[in-house]
Copies of this chain bind each other. A is one copy, B any other.
């Protein structure tokens, strides 16, 4: 049977994570990489009819003047994160994919991100509606030129500054009207991309802490268009550990008095988060789950600092001060030394495979069974990683598409 052709459209297509997705996908196709880090390669998902590595076609948006090859080289030189041999084996692929990357959207992304953009892009003036139209033209053109059966849009762009969205209309028809009024429309790029994709019926996954498809009106749009989406903020390191360790403290009735987490790293993401406005979005996402798992509010502190020399190596030190029997204070500390792009990239591939299958199965709206992949999963209060993973396993064990139930 002829395989389906699945497009993966990456927002932030030349960032560290997207570059690693791109190089990694070539490595998987050529058999140059094992399946470490790929959740969908676990035996318990082997029976699912997931898309295969050869089914995927890559494209995307980016705002910077650079090339995939340069970014891959940087991951090697600064962070020893990608193998030199692998990069040179992929050179021509990277050049080909570069040609499929279109200029991104800068609306409401804040001064730090705008500062990274190409000169040409910074001079573009467009309303939200115009930006959406432009993005949709890019998506349609990609689907047509590549003869795709499906397209999954994934947001991997830098974190946008936190914005007040309290007044955002909750219905799509009301929000829609704002798109022509730049002054009144608080939506930032991540949400405009989401609207563009969902409106065309393409699934959308938000791997970043930016709002993306989270606003109620956009969720309504997804359901109306019969497509699916999920977010937000990929859970790759320190927060993954929180979602694993906090349930232990809760189950053992050990009272967490304080949980301090210091994160240091030196990649582009770190540079953007060094701006307090952007950082606020991220810290909220990293911090919230403790209260939800523990059922009370320990004192918490999360810091994220840009330390150039670390490159892509995100290092976290967490200090958990807890009280056991008879009120005795005890301490757990951990340090996590993980290569950020290499932790995130396989999860992006997993999310694309699972989302594509869910779409094929006809699921619409939020894909809550993907909760284990996110720091702040939309549509579910479950924050315990193992229980989230059980949600995924139950979904995987469920009826195949086309089965009557």
Of A51-59, A172-180, A181-189, A322-330, which stretch is located at the interface?
A322-330
Of A124-132, A154-162, A251-259, which stretch is located at the interface?
A251-259
A24 CA to B327 CA in the complex, in Å? Answer: 11
Complex interface: chain B residues within 8 A of A255 (CB): 34, 36
Interface residues of A in 244-273 (CB under 8 A from B): 244-245, 247-248, 251-255, 257-258, 260, 262, 264
Q: Is the CB of A84 within 8 A of B85?
A: yes
Interface residues of A in 11-67 (CB under 8 A from B): 20, 23-24, 27, 33-39, 41-42
Identical copies in the complex: 4
Interface size of A in residues (CB-CB distance below 8 Å): 75
The residue of chain B having its C-beta at the shortest distance from the C-beta of A37 within the complex is B325
Whether A335 is near chain B, meaning CB under 8 Å from some CB there, is yes
Q: Is the CB of A386 within 8 A of B326?
A: no
A329 CA to B301 CA in the complex, in Å? Answer: 27
Of A100-108, A212-220, A302-310, A353-361, which stretch is located at the interface?
A302-310
Complex interface: chain B residues within 8 A of A83 (CB): 326
| Minimum Cβ distance to chain B for residue A298 (Å) | 8
Q: Is the CB of B386 within 8 A of A37?
A: no
Q: Is the CB of B328 within 8 A of A339?
A: yes
Q: Is the CB of B240 within 8 A of A252?
A: yes
Complex interface: chain B residues within 8 A of A332 (CB): 241, 334-337
**In the complex where A85-B84, A264-B301 touch, is A338 in contact with B327 (Cβ < 8 A)?**
no
Whether A81 is near chain B, meaning CB under 8 Å from some CB there, is yes
**In the complex where A37-B253, A335-B333 touch, is A324 in contact with B309 (Cβ < 8 A)?**
no
Q: Is the CB of A319 within 8 A of B324?
A: no
A interface, CB within 8 angstroms of B: 20, 23-24, 27, 33-39, 41-42, 80-86, 240-241, 244-245, 247-248, 251-255, 257-258, 260, 262, 264, 299, 301, 303, 305, 307-310, 315, 317, 319, 321, 323-339, 342-343, 345-346, 372, 384-387, 389
